[in-house]
């Protein structure tokens, strides 16, 4: 299946129990190999204020096209401890330590 990144932005992310985990804010692309490094998940705020952003590998989620959402097999409690960053302080483009930490956290 081929979909535009724009069509997937703002899609909700739910866990396997159907609980809301946030929304997809963006996708980070690796321009060296053309792959999506991770999706940026916004979680924890209210009306966009106080949201924390999380890097989630696409391999850790499933796209539910019928319900137009992503499924991430994580609890809200575990997600709170996931590698994340503030809206004003994104990881550097060559932050390999951060990417490795994210992949390990989600087991991909």
Radius of gyration of the chain (CA): 13
Whole-number Å distance between alpha carbons of 74 and 96: 23
Name the residue with higher pLDDT: 59 or 87.
Answer: 59
H or E element that contains 1:
none
- Residue 63 or residue 93, greater confidence: 63
Total domains in the fold of the chain: 1
Taking 80 as the threshold, does the pLDDT of residue 48 lie above it? no
Could you tell me the pTM of the whole model?
0.85
Q: Which range marks the domain in which residue 53 is found?
A: 5-106
In the chain the first and final C-alpha atoms are separated, in Å, by: 21
What CATH number does residue 39 fall under? 2.30.30.240
Average pLDDT, the chain: 87
Q: Give the pLDDT confidence score for residue 79 in this predicted structure.
A: 86
């Amino acid at each position: 299946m081929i979909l535009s990144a724009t069509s997937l932005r703002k899609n909700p992310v739910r866990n396997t129990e159907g609980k809301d985990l946030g929304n997809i804010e963006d996708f980070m692309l690796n321009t060296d190999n053309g792959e999506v490094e991770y999706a940026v998940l916004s979680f924890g705020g209210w009306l966009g204020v106080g949201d924390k952003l999380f890097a989630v590998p696409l391999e850790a989620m499933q796209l539910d096209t019928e319900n137009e959402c992503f499924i991430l097999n994580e609890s809200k409690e575990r997600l709170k401890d996931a590698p994340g960053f503030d809206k004003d302080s994104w990881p550097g483009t060559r932050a390999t330590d951060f990417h490795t930490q994210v992949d390990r956290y989600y087991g991909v």
